[in-house]
């Protein structure tokens, strides 16, 4: 096997953002290599239930979608980015329809069925029943596998980016990445004039998450180590309603259940959301998650209830077949009884700073999807704007790469050097530290924070980083070690961001600073040694 591979564009990540980019570039006769940590369907997109927000109805408007997004973002969205994204939404949906995504249609087949979710003032969420991500992912996957210009590397994980600085060259740009074949244990240098981080979010930094285990913030951590700024990492969105069950801690109960009339209840059946917001169950996610967290702590209970059993059984079967099937397998019938639910880490609103084309601080390195911080989400992402962002910015990055990247720029890359490392004889160190990071992040840097809790978290991060760095330097790498290394870096970025924000805004709530400041500003972190 060659120690170096070459491709026009290296895409790290295989969700909606990565595969959309791959297909659009391939359509422009540009060869791409897509790196996936597991199967192509193992990422977060595959599990997305609700849908994609876009202005598709004549009673809706671009202005309304923009206004709703700005309101949910708690004053921190960039209005130009919001407008850019919303205006391009309908065309992206048209592209998905053209690709063959089977969106749910109305009963009379006159158009697509649209649902409403928290924070939206109109029905504008197009969906494929309650398994939209599955429909999008599998459609794009089949097209990518069939395209001769799309090369797929499953069960591979990026180790680190290869930059000009690491090669002792100037000016600074990205030339590729080291990639580990997880099953064979072989590291290959992949050379590419353009590298795109589409690795998703970092929500596995928390003990309870709605995300698959691969969401360890790899791309954000790699970009930070390479010299990119990151922004707004304190804004970690907790989805209000994940099923509370020991065998299914990551199963999300879609926002659309509340959008279609589901009610949140205390264990004794008392509704409570109207006490916290006039929009009740349709308030933005940060408000709903904090309300649930407040009631659970006040009453000392381990969950609340989500009830849609007042709707006809046929309605539930038609609108939520996947959720119903999963719940029935676990012993709950949402047609006749409420579901026990708890909040769980769900979405990373911050990430690698980019512009409207996905450019990062390093030439030749792009970031799209949940790994990027575009300014769309501000301090709180509105429901179903995430897949929209993936589609819009993958399209924008594809246009920019096709127009501006010189595909002849391919320096020789050094082989991966593991001549001074040995096989580990204590893998328990990795598994133990993995659990420790996720536990203290849940306890100290969760839905409600304090300065004291944040300081405790930082103290543990300092100790763990030293231990993990020593382990990384002495032993052959594995996917678990790489994820742990990235996870503790992500934890530090979240804590540093949270400690620097002296207010409560959106998803960041600090009991020591419960008020919201009159001015707004992003939290921007610069890597050590970076002056601008």
The alpha carbon of 28 is separated from its chain's Cα centroid by a whole number of angstroms, namely 27
pLDDT tens digits along 97-135:
999 999 999 989 889 999 988 789 999 999 998 889 999
Tell me the DSSP string of 420-444: T-B--S-THHHHHHHHHHHHHHHHH
Instruction: Read off the pTM.
Output: 0.91
Please compute the mean of the pLDDT values over residues 439-445 and round it to a whole number: 92
pLDDT of residue 3: 66
Tell me: cis bond preceding 270? Omega within 30 of 0 counts.
no
Distance CA 85, CA 79 (A): 10
Hey, how many other C-beta atoms are within 10 angstroms of the C-beta on 191?
20
**What domains can be seen in the chain, in order of their start residue?**
4-234+349-404 (3.50.50.60), 240-344 (3.90.700.10), 428-511 (1.20.58.100)
Q: Who contacts 62 (Cβ-Cβ below 8 Å, separation ≥6)?
A: 55, 83, 86, 87
pLDDT tens digits along 460-510:
999 999 989 888 888 899 999 999 999 999 999 999 999 999 999 999 999
Please compute the mean of the pLDDT values over residues 425-452 and round it to a whole number: 88
Query: How high is the mean pLDDT of the chain?
Result: 93
Distance CA 303, CA 81 (A): 37
Of all residues in the chain, what percent carry a pLDDT higher than 90?
78
The reply to whether 285 belongs to the active site is yes
- If we measure between CA atoms, which residue out of 505, 501, 496 comes closest to residue 457? 496
- If we measure between CA atoms, which residue out of 428, 441, 501, 439 comes closest to residue 471? 428
pLDDT tens digits along 276-329:
999 999 888 888 988 998 898 899 998 999 999 999 999 999 999 999 999 999
pLDDT of residue 409: 72
pLDDT of residue 49: 79
Most confident of 242-256, 262-276, 286-300: 262-276
Specify the DSSP class assigned to residue 504.
-
The alpha carbon of 13 is separated from its chain's Cα centroid by a whole number of angstroms, namely 11
Cβ–Cβ under 8 Å, residues 198 and 183? no
Distance CA 456, CA 273 (A): 32
Distance CA 70, CA 207 (A): 30
- If we measure between CA atoms, which residue out of 445, 434, 528 comes closest to residue 234? 445
The greatest distance separating any two alpha carbons of the chain, rounded to the nearest whole angstrom, comes to: 68
- If we measure between CA atoms, which residue out of 385, 42, 348, 48 comes closest to residue 217? 348
**Annotated active-site residue in 78, 229, 285, 290:** 285
pLDDT tens digits along 200-230:
999 999 988 888 778 999 999 999 999 999 9
pLDDT of residue 1: 42
Q: What are phi and psi of 150, to 5 degrees?
A: -110, 115
Residue burial 86-110, b: 16+ Cβ < 10 Å; e: rest: bebbeebbeebeeeebebbeeeeee
The alpha carbon of 391 is separated from its chain's Cα centroid by a whole number of angstroms, namely 14
pLDDT tens digits along 360-405:
999 999 999 999 999 999 999 998 999 999 999 999 999 999 999 9
Model confidence at 418, in pLDDT bands (50, 70, 90)?
confident
More confident residue, 424 or 14: 14
Strand, coil or helix: 388? helix
Whole-number CA gyration radius for the chain: 22
């Amino acid at each position: 096997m060659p120690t170096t591979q070459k491709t026009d564009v290296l895409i790290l990540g295989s969700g909606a953002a990565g595969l959309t980019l791959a297909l659009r570039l391939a359509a422009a006769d540009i060869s791409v290599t897509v790196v996936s940590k597991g199967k192509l369907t193992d990422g977060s997109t595959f599990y997305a239930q609700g849908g994609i927000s876009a202005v598709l109805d004549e009673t809706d408007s671009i202005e309304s979608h923009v206004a709703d997004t700005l309101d949910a973002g708690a004053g921190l969205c960039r209005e130009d980015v919001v407008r850019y994204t919303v205006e391009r939404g309908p065309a992206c949906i048209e592209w998905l329809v053209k690709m063959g995504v089977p969106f749910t249609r109305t009963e009379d087949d006159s158009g697509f069925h649209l649902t409403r979710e928290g924070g939206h003032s109109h029905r504008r969420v197009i969906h494929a029943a309650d398994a939209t991500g599955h429909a999008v992912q599998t459609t794009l996957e089949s097209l990518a596998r069939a395209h001769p210009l799309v090369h797929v590397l499953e069960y591979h994980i990026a180790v680190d980016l290869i930059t000009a600085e690491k090669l002792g060259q100037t000016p600074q740009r990205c030339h590729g990445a080291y990639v580990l074949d997880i099953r064979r244990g072989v590291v290959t240098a992949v050379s590419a004039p353009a590298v795109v981080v589409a690795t998703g979010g970092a929500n596995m930094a928390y003990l309870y998450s709605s995300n698959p285990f691969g969401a360890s913030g790899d791309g954000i951590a790699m970009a930070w180590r390479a010299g990119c700024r990151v922004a707004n990492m304190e804004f970690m969105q907790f989805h209000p309603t994940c099923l509370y069950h020991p065998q299914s801690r990551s199963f999300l109960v879609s926002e659309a259940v509340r959008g279609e009339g589901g009610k949140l209840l205390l264990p004794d059946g008392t509704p409570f959301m109207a006490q916290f917001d006039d929009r009740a169950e349709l308030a933005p996610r940060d408000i709903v998650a904090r309300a649930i967290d407040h009631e659970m702590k006040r009453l000392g209970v381990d969950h609340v209830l989500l009830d849609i059993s007042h709707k006809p059984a046929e309605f539930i079967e038609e609108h939520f077949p996947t959720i119903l099937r999963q719940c029935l397998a676990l012993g709950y019938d949402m047609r006749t009884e409420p579901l026990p639910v708890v909040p769980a880490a769900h979405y990373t609103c911050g990430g690698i700073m980019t512009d409207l084309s996905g450019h990062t601080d390093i030439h030749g390195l792009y970031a799209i999807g949940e790994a990027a911080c575009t300014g769309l989400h501000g301090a709180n992402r509105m429901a179903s704007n995430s897949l929209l962002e993936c589609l819009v910015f993958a399209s924008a990055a594809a246009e920019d790469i096709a127009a501006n990247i010189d595909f002849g720029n391919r320096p020789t890359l050094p082989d991966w050097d593991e001549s001074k490392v040995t096989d580990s004889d204590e893998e328990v160190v990795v598994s133990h530290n993995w659990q420790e990071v996720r536990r203290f992040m849940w306890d100290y840097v969760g839905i409600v924070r304090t300065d004291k809790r944040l300081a405790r978290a930082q103290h543990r991060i300092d100790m763990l980083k030293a231990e993990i760095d020593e382990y990384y330097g002495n032993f052959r790498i594995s996917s678990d070690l790489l994820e742990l290394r990235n996870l503790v870096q992500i934890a530090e970025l979240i804590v540093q961001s949270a400690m620097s924000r002296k207010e409560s805004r959106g998803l960041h709530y600090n009991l020591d600073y419960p008020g919201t400041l009159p001015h707004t500003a992003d939290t921007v972190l610069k890597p050590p040694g970076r002056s601008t």
